[in-house]
Amino acid sequence: MTNEDGANQQPTSLTISAQSLAAAGLEPQVRSWIGDGPNETITAGQIVAAVGEDRLAQAAESLGWEPEGLAADLASRLPELVDSAVPDGQSASDTGGGFPGFQVRWAPVPVQDLTSDLQIHPGISPASSLTLNDEVAIDGSVTLTVRYL
């Protein structure tokens, strides 16, 4: 994948491990996500503590997000991501002490197909240099550019 300047650009992802969440004091929440009961919530501030401000800021910058927005989005989605990464409470490894091990990678999902309704309201701007005797060809073409970061 290349950017507009032709430079090689790798997709951004952010890996969050069970160990980093436990080190940030989130072991009870992680256990609730892996277990059968209801998932406990976490805050954006807890995400920042688990991931680290620098890593979060770097990921947010490369995605075109603000760090606070990325942390809030991760906080709202992480319980569901862990549930899907660790089905039926079965973890890939045990980190010792009975704490399950897993890693969740978060990255934006690329748009494959985009369908949208587009409303166009054409208008002709008056030009003081045109008289009623002048003709101006209108070709009816339009250019639409969609940029996906």
User: Is residue 50 within 8 Å of 61, Cβ to Cβ?
Assistant: no
Closest CA to 107 of 62, 44, 52: 62
**Number of helices (H) and strands (E), helices first, in the chain?**
5, 4
pLDDT of residue 7: 45
Q: What are the tens digits of pLDDT across the range 109-146? A: 565 666 667 666 666 666 677 677 777 676 666 666 66
Say what the pTM is: 0.56
CATH code of the domain occupying 14-106: 1.10.10.690
Q: What are the tens digits of pLDDT across the range 25-34? A: 998 898 888 8
- The residue ranges of every structural domain in the chain are 14-106
